[in-house]
Structure 1
Amino acid sequence: MAPGVAADISHINTKSKVTGYDPTPSGLAAALKGAEIVLIPAGVPRKPGMTRDDLFNTNASIVRDLAKAAAESAPDANILVISNPVNSTVPIVAEIFKAKGVYNPKRLFGVTTLDVVRASRFVSEIKNTDPKDENIVVVGGHSGVTIVPLFSQSSHPDLVGNAELLNRVQFGGDEVVKAKDGAGSATLSMAMAGARFAESLLRAAQGEKGVVEPTFVDSPLYKDQGVEFFASKVELGPSGVEKIHEVGKVTAEEQKLLDACISDLKKNIDKGVAFVAQNPGK
């Protein structure tokens, strides 16, 4: 399948070389060798009624094994994790890289771009604006109440307290799951968001300054509360994470959302760490 997909993509008119590899350990090692960016979208999709956490056991094993292969064949690569639940799979990758002695916190990213894409789209529908002109700050994590949009920092502070909008941003993925009626979850919008983040990382790696994207990273912002990873605006550079932005000023209502986020996020992160400890794999 992979060689066929590679042949298909190779017909796109870009200045690039596309290679497909067999789905074997040696094929995986060859695919990863020397890679600068490794995107991990692998995993089972959600079905109606499932949360991202329901995917945990299956996807955790997949991500663990891919992380091991990446640690061995591309230890210096930027690792971009899309596989859900991101709040737990990113810590899994970190633990695997630590065990292999190659962990670099500046090179590990949880892709939360879709939360910003959704928030910007949903706000534009309410305000009758172009979604490209909206850039809603979203912090926290990548599931349910850990997704915290900060409307007070946008040009629409009046949207703070809009419960329907908040729910849609936090649980927007459920709309897609329901609409696909058991046939999968968000793939096309996620692909767009993943491509946007990868492109931003490439631009930063080539020396472009001021490239800022929201992403779930090893962050100092809430470490004093036992939360090792947090999504906020991050300036990207040739070495990966260049600068982690503070959350900034928020309203009292948004602070309550952050408090709920921190509580859930810590449990999600701990779950990923515990999984690797209990299931180290081969």
Structure 2
Amino acid sequence: MVKVVVCGAAGGIGQPLSLLLKQSDLITHLALYDVVNAPGVAADLSHINSKSQVSGHGKGDMDAALKDAHTVVIPAGVPRKPGMTRDDLFKINAGIVRDLAEGVAKNCPGAFVLVISNPVNSTVPIVCEVLKKHGVWDPKKVFGISTLDGVRSSRFVSEVKPSLDPKSTRVTVIGGHSGVTIVPLLSQIPGHFAKNLSQEKLDALTHRIQYGGDEVVKAKDGAGSATLSMAHAGARFTLTLLEATISHTAGLVESTYVSLHADADSTASFRHKTGLDYFAQDIEFGPEGVHRIVPLPDLSTYEQTLLDAAIPELKVNIAKGASFITDSA
């Protein structure tokens, strides 16, 4: 049985994410957990004629939802509002993510954990520190879903150059999952895409990728943040992971925010140079989760400048997440 749990399933991301996952034949049991409305969402989805069983779990029923899960996807938390940065979300979402990680450690310690809850740069270290505390941490199995940055990049690049198909044009995005920590490697797009852009256009495109979420927050005018596009990105990442771990499909690659200890030998030099323990980078999936972290390509001078700016911010974000658990131990 392949049980996938969505924690925060009744929310703006959780509902469309659950709908997309319900369509997969790789999932036999889709368990939906939320403090409100999860049974209703589950009843609705259960009428869809795909193979998976759906169960709904409300407040007080987290253990049953998580029990024996293969994969746990966490979009739980509050959305960003106008003027709110991802870091502003920390105080609210950190406690939610901590409690869910405790539930994972207790009920499904071997599960793959996919974190959407922002700020991802900090919430992933929170999950890892909780699992470490319980002696069940496997760095190959915890992921921050930064996939939306790549999804946006592919779309925005195609708007600059319409001959590029947004579905097939893949953009590697490294660093983290907020603002200045998002570093799109536009120099890797075939056809000298980046070199053919003026500096002004390159700056504008990079800024749009880094702060694309702000476009949505502003456009929704107080009614929420990026939910539908994030659900798409979250489902894409989850299904790719399942293809690798259940179907054993080899060679699948996505950018994701992970502990660099998931491939400690190949990242040792980078960790020593930067002082970072977590980083968004291309990873190749395997049955164990992270099969390998793909080495960074040669960066352009412009991209190296972006990375240099990202590293100090990442250090602060990571320390903030880790200390939320370690300082309260």
Q: Give the structure-1-normalised TM-score.
A: 0.96
| 2:54 is the alignment partner of 1:18 | yes
The Cα of 1:86 is off from its aligned counterpart by 0.1
Q: Does 2:134 align with 1:100?
A: yes
Which among 18, 35, 44 is matched to residue 8 of structure 1?
Answer: 44
Report 1:66-81 matches (<5 A): 66-81=100-115
RMSD across aligned C-alpha pairs, in angstroms? 1.1
The separation in 2 between residues aligned to 1:80 and 1:4, in whole angstroms, is: 24
Q: Which amino acid aligns with 1:4?
A: G
Tell me the residue number matched to 1:134. Answer: 169
**Contact 1:152–1:160 under 8 Å retained in 2:** no
- What SS does the corresponding residue of 2:217 show, helix, strand or coil? helix
Does the residue aligned with 2:54 lie in a helix, a strand or coil?
coil
**C-alpha separation in 2, matches of 1:22 and 1:171:** 34
- Whether 1:223 aligns to 2:271 is yes
Query: Which residue of the partner structure matches residue 323 of structure 2?
Result: 274
Pairing partner for 2:295 from 246, 251, 256: 246
Cα deviation 1:203-246 (Å, max 9, x = unaligned): 00121011111111111533212210011110111111001011
Asked if structure 2 preserves the Cα contact closer than 8 Å seen for 1:151 and 1:160, the reply is: no
Distance 1:8 1:160 in 2: 50
| 1:29–1:69 Cα contact (<8 Å) kept | yes
Aligned residues: 278
What's the TM-score once normalised by structure 2's chain length?
Answer: 0.83
Equivalent in 147, 161, 171 of residue 113 of structure 1: 147
What SS does structure 2 have at the residue aligned with 1:243? strand
Q: How far 1:160 sits from its partner (Å)?
A: 8.0
Could you tell me which runs of 5 or more consecutive residues in structure 1 were left unpaired when the two chains were aligned.
none
Q: Which string of whole-angstrom CA distances, capped at 9 and with x for unpartnered residues, describes residues 62-104 of structure 1?
A: 0001100111101000000000000000000000000001000
Question: What is the match of residue 216 of structure 2?
Answer: 176
Partners of 1:97 and 1:160 lie apart in 2 by 46
1:140-190 residue CA offsets vs partner (Å, 9 max, x unmatched): 100001000011111223248411101100000000100111111111100
Query: What is residue 43 of structure 1 aligned with on the other side?
Result: 77
SS at match of 1:265: helix
Quick one: which of 174, 192, 195 aligns to 2:235?
195
Going from structure 1 to structure 2, the CA distance change for 1:160 and 1:71 (only over 3 Å counts) comes to farther
Q: Secondary structure at the match of 2:56?
A: coil
Alpha-carbon shift at residue 53 of structure 1 (Å): 0.2
- Find runs of 4+ consecutive structure 1 residues off by over 4 angstroms: none
Q: Secondary structure at the match of 1:133?
A: coil
Which digits, 9 at most, give the CA deviation of each residue in 1:242-262, with x for residues without a partner?
010111111111101111111
Q: How many percent identity over aligned positions?
A: 58
Alignment-derived partner of residue 10 in structure 2: none
Gaps of 5+ in 2: 1-36
Which residue type is aligned with residue 223 of structure 1? R
Secondary structure, counterpart of 1:20 in structure 2: strand
Instruction: Provide the C-alpha distance between the structure 1 equivalents of 2:286 and 2:300, rounded to a whole number of angstroms.
Output: 31
Q: CA deviation at 1:275?
A: 1.1
SS of aligned partner of 1:209:
coil
Which of the numbers 177, 184, 187 marks the counterpart of 1:149?
Answer: 184
| Residues 15-57 of structure 1 deviation map (CA, whole Å, 9 limit, x = unaligned) | 1111111221xx1011101101000000111111111000000
| Cα distance between partner residues in 2 of 1:77 and 1:231 | 21
1:134 Cα offset (Å): 1.2
- Asked whether the 8 Å contact 1:114–1:190 carries over to 2, the reply is yes
